[in-house]
Structure 1
Amino acid sequence: MPEVDFDVDELDADEQISRDFYRQVQVREDMLFPLAEHHTAGGEHSYYVLFDRTATWGHPGDPQYVAVHLHRHPEKRTFDFEKATLPLPSMAQSWLIHRGCPADAIGLNPELGPPSADEATRALEQRLAGDGDHYALGYSYTRDDPDDMVTVVVLRALDERATAPFRVVVEEVDTGAWTHTLREGAFATVAEALTWCQDRLTGTAGPLPPVRPATSATRPALPSTASNPRPPGRSR
């Protein structure tokens, strides 16, 4: 099993930052399973997608992925950090990308976790990682029952012009084939989205309503990457 090393033991920090980092991240360092990480040249910035193995014993439905951005200040020998707990790896990737991590540097280790079952899953994961900041997370529930491993997520489009602003994203793991699928549906109201999620968790949900392609008038503009070449660094 790979282990995560945050490499901050030789650094000082504001007392509150040190306390927060220990309580929120470092205290369970041996239970955080690195799925992806990237370190810029010189080690100033580190980005991590981590699977939290303690989540299965926590509150039912808790998200199982942790995104961490460490910013070290070598000249001062200090550091600060940001973290987020998220229900899907692609959402953790998106969170890190929009904090400066190059998109092509934070790919998940293909040998860890169940691979995508089909092209539709891969395409949706890519889109969530790339434009996840166009949505706000409203609700999620993760069930790690081997007989029904599923995560349901409700997102709200930040573009007020969206005709179906609430999206439900569903990840299902086939434990026999050891693959996973990701699917998306569009809803007009949050009540409809939440009802579908509850029905899915009880096994009574119908098909997801299809998502109509966004038009140029309603699609949020993607951030340009032409002027942001990948900085030198290492990923593993």
Structure 2
Amino acid sequence: MIEPDYRLDGYAPADTWIKTLFRQVFEMEQHTLAVLAEHHTPDNTHSYFLLHDTAATWGPPNTPQVLALHLRRDTTASTYRFEHARLPLAAMAQSWLIQRGCPADAIMLGPDVGTDPADDTTRALEQRVREDADRFSFLDNYIRDDPDDMVTLVVLRSRDESDPARIRVLCEEADLDAGTHTLREGGFANVADALDWCEARLDQQEVYLPPVDRVNPRTTGPAPRPPAPPARSVPGRSR
């Protein structure tokens, strides 16, 4: 496991809040964080990290295990600021970093990092997730961290109000023996139907993930209020 080197020698936090938050999230837990990918700009003003929180499996249920970190250094004042997000899929974390200026090809996973996409469908969908961040809002995720059934479910909402499949579910299943994973997408007319599907999948029922282009809009009552977005921005840091 490669622990992150934040390259902050000679730099101080821009304020007390940044110092406290960075210490709590990254410095105190550094021994549990594994670098999946990283990129540093030639002028040393920006660093982008894709990290795996190896301790997340022992934390609260459904805690996303991927951390995205964007560090910004003021080389004149010798201070730094940062923002970060905890996300359930590596492709989502890559998208978050790309939105903040990281070159897409610089934050891709290496061939010996994690599991490999099992097929072209997975590769194409992961690429779309990296590119389509502005089209969807992240509502929730569910994680089964069982070696015999490794599954991550992500519930998204399309920002296109004319989309009959306003609610999407991404289902990632990992085969640790083969060292591969698959990613599939389903479409739902409302949050309730999507959550029902997620519950059935987590109960290991044989459920059919409905195609996005075959959703029949219907109403099943008010949709549950989604949780707060997982991304956190440090005060004073504009997005």
**Cα deviation 1:10-48 (Å, max 9, x = unaligned):** 211211111111112221112111111111112100111
**Cα deviation 1:85-137 (Å, max 9, x = unaligned):** 00000000000111111112111122011101000000000000111231111
Amino acid at match of 2:144: R
Q: Output the CA distance in 2 between the equivalents of 1:24 and 1:205.
A: 38
1:1-236 matched pairs, under 5 angstroms: 1-13=1-13, 14-212=15-213
Q: Which consecutive segments of 4 or more residues in structure 1 shift more than 3 A?
A: none
Alignment partner, residue 228 of structure 1: none
**Identity between Structure 1 and Structure 2 (%):** 52
Q: CA deviation at 1:212?
A: 2.2
Checking the alignment, whether the CA contact within 8 Å between 1:153 and 1:170 is kept in structure 2 is yes
Number of corresponding residues: 213
* TM-score with structure 1 setting the length: 0.87
**Local SS of the residue matching 2:122:** helix
Question: Runs of 5+ in structure 1 lacking a partner?
Answer: 214-236
Q: CA deviation at 1:175?
A: 2.0
Amino acid at match of 1:6: Y
Please, which moves more after superposition, 147-156 or 204-213?
204-213
Q: Output the CA distance in 2 between the equivalents of 1:104 and 1:147.
A: 32
Checking the alignment, whether the CA contact within 8 Å between 1:196 and 1:205 is kept in structure 2 is no
Q: Output the CA distance in 1 between the equivalents of 2:213 and 2:48.
A: 34
Question: Runs of 5+ in structure 2 lacking a partner?
Answer: 215-239
Checking the alignment, whether the CA contact within 8 Å between 1:95 and 1:133 is kept in structure 2 is no
* TM-score with structure 2 setting the length: 0.86
